[in-house]
Amino acid sequence: MVLFLAMTHLNIEIKARHNDPDFVREYLKKNNADFKGVDQQVDTYFNVTNGRLKLREGNIENNLIYYKRTDESTAKESHFQLVHIPDSKALKEVLTQSLGIKIVVEKKREIYFIGNVKFHIDDVVGLGSFMEIEASNMHDEISRDRLQEQCDFYIGEFGIKDEDLIAFSYSDMLLGKDDVIGVELF
């Protein structure tokens, strides 16, 4: 019998427009970031009554992710649960039949880490290019305040301005919940 324990973790995270991905890559390289690779991801969002549920299928990351996050254009808390899914086909079929698909998001994602902080450079089909910073306590006990400090530090390092921050998820943006659809950002 296989037992999965779902623990809730915390991210302090941002999503932003950034018009210089080469600057981001060079900064990460100079600061010895661990480059995990380029992932071709398909995120299938399912209809749920609370929070967000997505199945991520990629060549690097394959997870079922449930999360709750407010839509704010500042660094925000995201409480999440993640289950690694080595073969998603059957799970996707069950979730599709039981919950229905809300939307599918396709993207190319460059993945980097500096310690517990994860960086993404994303090219999202239908939306354009973005970067994300996620300071997480997934593998270590790190306080919310420390995660906030880490996220704020990298916002400053990358020169991200308040007007560059995005409040919504890619799924919400594709569903038309904000005004950046179709903007080419890089």
Domains, the chain: 9-174 (2.40.320.10)
pLDDT tens digits, residue range 129-145?
999 999 998 767 889 99
Residue 119, beta-bridge partner list: 112, 133
Task: Find out whether 64 and 161 touch, Cβ atoms under 8 Å.
Answer: no
Model-level pTM?
0.85
Task: Find out whether 40 and 110 touch, Cβ atoms under 8 Å.
Answer: no
Q: Is the dihedral of CA 50, 91, 112, 186 positive or negative?
A: negative
Here the tokens at position 170 are: 């890619």
pLDDT tens digits, residue range 110-131?
999 999 999 999 999 999 999 9
- Burial classification of residue 32, based on how many CB atoms lie within 10 Å of its CB (0-12 exposed, 13-18 middle, 19 or more buried): exposed
